[in-house]
Amino acid sequence: MKRIGIDVGGTNTDAALIVDGKVVKGVKTPTTEDVLGGVRTVLGLVLDGEGAAGLDGVMIGTTHFTNAVVQRRGLNKVSALRIGLPSGASLPPFVDWPKDLAGLVRGTVHMVRGGHEYDGRPLVPMDRDAIREAAGHISEAGVRSVAVSAVFSPLTNECEVEAAEILRRENPDLHVTLSSELGRIGLLERENVALLNACLQDLAHKTTRAFVDALRDSGIQAPLYLTQNDGTIMRAEVAEAFPVYCFASGPTNSMRGAAFLSGVEDGVVVDVGGTTSDIGYLKAGFPREANSTVEIGGVRTLFRMPDLLSIGLGGGTEIAADTQAIGPGSVGYRLTREALVFGGRQLTATDIAVAAGVADIGDRSKVAGLPKAMVEATLRRMREMIAEGMDRMKTEAGDLPLLAVGGGSFLIPDTVEGASEVVRVEHHAIANAVGAGIAQVSGEVDRILSGMGRDRALETAAAEARARAVASGAEERTLKTVEAEDLPLAYLSGDTLRVRVRVVGDIAANARRPERSVA
């Protein structure tokens, strides 16, 4: 069993070679602007003296898409088509988005008549002419990606599917994201997920291409996977259409990697990256799942995500020269050009740490002239941010171990208020690459079952989900049900339920080419 886990962060690209459950090698290199260069470099480093033979898979986790939304970079324009009038007119698509982000990505917005009732009847007949008209406006505006939402589409996606056909007929090159493929009941939140997915299409395509090219250039034949929010993997060609499923894969991987590397299964993981610190709560080796809506770059969403607190503090965080304000801007992957210790002109968190003597990076003499009082005060404020973040994620008053990981973890002091101990794990700087490398396989069933009662319907679906996970390469005895729910469909005869069950498990040692099942 030989796998490479890679994490492409905003600042660094890390890789871990994992053979039979052990990390045999870990490497780190700056992320390059084209992504490809960095991935190619780590693959070269990690395979040096090893060769690509016998590799079972390459698992890449990336925060690229999240960073793009948070920093409002690399996003393409998106049009919104909502099928649901006469309801919802006062709350149009983008209504609860931060104004700067909406201003950046909002293309055209269309609301047309249609959608369904909770019981499956049409709300009103769908206005196909209006959709054709919208398609015309979208083309005229030069927008190439559109998010389609419809009232009650998680129960019946007819309207969204037909609207997509109409849009594609009018404009075959249009990329269409359907809200029913991504989200749950809750029109606004589901529509927001679809809009975010749609505004990341160009970047997702470009990024996946870069990964594929990097593997090819490195002579790797093994399949490429992208890791998802829940710590499972998806074939890259499937993942490309759903960048939102990669949103939290970086932090998820780092938390699972930290647990794997330290053997500590319960605690708070603080992953200090280049741009942000992600703080998560680890229970039995897994991140706690967010119960409610999750905000991404200020956009309210509701889908499967780990419960995370992201604060704007990383190794590349910019410190304002005049006010000493910390962030939220970051030099990110340009750290090795722009930070003072690397001969640049931007004062960063890393410079403060070097000046204070808690890190030894770059050329120390370049920060020797910084006023001592300013350095100490700034370091103290950065540490307070971390302690407060940890406190906010705790469920109980008692102290818990703090697992310090990530390339910027030198910002975490050896004692933190509220932490029983600060655990610095081996390979901590590549914890997320390790987490990607140990990612699991899932099996999911989402279907309508009738005439068997609720318990049997759930059992039937669970058995099928397990079979799918095993077929995808999971070890049967490691399977756990992570999601099981049923939605009644009152409009169909008899006791008809829509049942959704999702199981995850470790990759079986003998699975050579696991594939993600598509429900």
Partner 1 sequence: MRTIEPDEIDLLATGAWILGAGGGGNPYLAGLNLRTLYETGTRVSLIDPMELADDDAVALVSSMGAPLVGRERLSDPRFAVKPLVAMQKYLGREVRAVMSGEIGGTNALQPLMVAAVTGLPVVDADAMGRAFPETQMSSFAIDELPMLPLVLADIRDTELIIPRAESPKWMERIARKALTEMGSVAATCKAPRTGREVKDHAILHSTTKAIRIGRTVHEARRRHDDPIAALVEAEKGAVLFRGKVHDVSRRATEGFLRGTVRIEGLDGDRGASLELAFQNEFAAAWRDGEVQVTTPEIICVMDSVSGEAIGTEMIRYGQRVSVVVLPVPDFFLTQRALAATGPRAFGYDFDFRTVLAGRGQ
Name residues contacting partner 1, limited to 331-390 (CB under 8 A). 388
Residue from the set 89, 320, 509, 518 that interacts with partner 1 by CB under 8 A: 89
Candidates 187, 177, 298; CA nearest to 245 is 177
Please, which residue, 50 or 391, has the CB nearer to partner 1? 391
Neighbour tally for 49: CB within 10 Å? 6
Please, which residue, 74 or 120, has the CB nearer to partner 1? 120
Please, which residue, 50 or 307, has the CB nearer to partner 1? 307
User: Cβ 316 to partner 1, closest distance in Å?
Assistant: 28
Q: Does 483 bind partner 1 (CB under 8 A)?
A: yes
Reading the block at residue 301, the tokens are: 């969403």
Residue from the set 241, 361, 484, 519 that interacts with partner 1 by CB under 8 A: 484
Give me the residues paired with residue 12 across strands. Answer: 30
In 6-127, which residue ranges form alpha helices assigned H by DSSP?
36-47, 64-70, 99-105
Q: Three-state SS string across 188-200, please?
A: HHHHHHHHHHHHC
Q: Helices 36-47 & 201-217, crossing angle to 10 degrees? A: 30
Residue from the set 289, 399, 459, 475 that interacts with partner 1 by CB under 8 A: 289
Reading the block at residue 510, the tokens are: 């003998």
Give me the residues paired with residue 65 across strands. Answer: none
In 151-239, which residue ranges form alpha helices assigned H by DSSP?
158-170, 187-199, 201-217, 236-239
**Three-state secondary-structure class, residue 506:** coil
Q: Does 482 bind partner 1 (CB under 8 A)?
A: yes
Please, which residue, 34 or 483, has the CB nearer to partner 1? 483
Please calculate the CA angle 8-277-42 and round it to the nearest 5 degrees.
Answer: 20
Residue from the set 34, 162, 475, 485 that interacts with partner 1 by CB under 8 A: 485
Draw the binding track, 91-130, toward partner 1 (x: CB under 8 A; -: no contact): x---xx------------------x-xxx-x-xx------
Q: Does 486 bind partner 1 (CB under 8 A)?
A: yes
Please, which residue, 427 or 502, has the CB nearer to partner 1? 502
Q: Which stretch binds partner 1 (CB under 8 A): 86-94, 158-166, 329-337, 359-367?
A: 86-94
User: Cβ 286 to partner 1, closest distance in Å?
Assistant: 11
By CB under 8 A, the count of residues binding partner 1 is 42
Q: Helices 158-170 & 128-140, crossing angle to 10 degrees? A: 50
Reading the block at residue 107, the tokens are: 């293309």
Q: 78-85 and 12-19: which strand pairing?
A: unpaired
User: Cβ 189 to partner 1, closest distance in Å?
Assistant: 8
Please, which residue, 188 or 354, has the CB nearer to partner 1? 188
User: Cβ 187 to partner 1, closest distance in Å?
Assistant: 5
Q: Helices 201-217 & 187-199, crossing angle to 10 degrees? A: 50
Residue from the set 307, 399, 446, 515 that interacts with partner 1 by CB under 8 A: 307
Contact yes or no for 57/261 (Cβ under 8 A): no
Draw the binding track, 179-218, toward partner 1 (x: CB under 8 A; -: no contact): ------xxxx------------------------------
Residue from the set 127, 133, 170, 391 that interacts with partner 1 by CB under 8 A: 391
Residue from the set 454, 480, 512, 513 that interacts with partner 1 by CB under 8 A: 454
**What is the per-residue DSSP string for 391-457?**
HHH-SSSS-EEEEEESTTGGGS-S--TTEEEEEE-TTGGGHHHHHHHT-BEEEEEEEEEESS-HHHH
Please, which residue, 322 or 455, has the CB nearer to partner 1? 455
Candidates 107, 100, 98; CA nearest to 76 is 107
Please enumerate in sequence order all residues whose Cβ is within 8 A of that of 421, keeping only pairs 6 or more positions apart, or say none.
401, 402
- The binding site for partner 1 (CB under 8 A) comprises 84, 86-91, 95-96, 115, 117-119, 121, 123-124, 151-152, 185-188, 288-289, 291-292, 307, 388, 391-393, 395-396, 454, 482-488, 490
